[in-house]
Amino acid sequence: MGTLTEADEAIRAQLIVPEQRELFDYWCARCVADRFPRRADISPADLRKILPNLSLMDVLEEEPLRLRVRLAGTRLREYYGIETTGRLFDEFDLGEQRDYWNEAYREVVEAGRPAQGVVPLVPWNQPHVYQFWLRLPLVDDAGRIVMVLGHDAFLQSEKARALAGAEKLQIA
């Protein structure tokens, strides 16, 4: 995986937020042979300027998929209005977006692919804010996906609304 595959190039081409392209490139650079990066391969010091927008989720079970928020940056708390660190993903009231997010995390964990997309923050009572998200798999020493590294950018503008209408969920 040292070089970008066609699927990787497709994901990168769809990333609108510059910090997400930077994180994706960083993540790709840490892929070795046919293995995704491990958590130990990712240094918070290298990502200092985007830490407020990062999250790490532990994969607790694969069937059914269960995730726990290990770490959520301060920007996520600002927009969600709650502290999500330490909570189970299925505890969140995501309303009509529950299936959307379940599909996104299944693609990352079960299909073993990065995923990105954009959704309005309807579950968090901010439908005028658009969440541009990126999710990247992290593996253990055996190559099993055990964590998901996330980056979320929150935009409020007509351009963000237009972009959100164009792409809801992109999975390579």
pLDDT at 50: 97
How crowded is the C-beta side of 9, counted as CA atoms within 13 Å? 4
- What pLDDT digit, counting tens, does each position of 60-90 carry? 987 889 999 999 999 999 988 899 999 999 9
SS3 sequence of the chain: CCCCCHHHHHHHHHCCCHHHHHHHHHHHHCCECCECCEHHHCCHHHHHHHHHHEEEEEEEEECCEEEEEEEECHHHHHHHCCCCCCCEHHHCCCHHHHHHHHHHHHHHHCCCCCEEEEEEEHHHCEEEEEEEEEEEEEECCCCCEEEEEEEEEEECCHHHHHHHHHCCEEEC
Specify the number of domains making up the chain.
1
Domain-embedded: residue 86: yes
- What pLDDT digit, counting tens, does each position of 16-66 carry? 899 999 999 999 999 988 799 999 999 999 999 999 999 999 999 878 899
Domain-embedded: residue 91: yes
Domain-embedded: residue 1: no
CB 19 within 8 A of CB 27: no
CB 100 within 8 A of CB 169: yes
**Which pTM was predicted?**
0.87
Question: Which CATH number belongs to the domain containing residue 165 in this structure?
Answer: 3.30.450.20
Domain residues for 163? 6-171
Tokens of 163: 């972009």
Domain-embedded: residue 70: yes
Domain-embedded: residue 26: yes
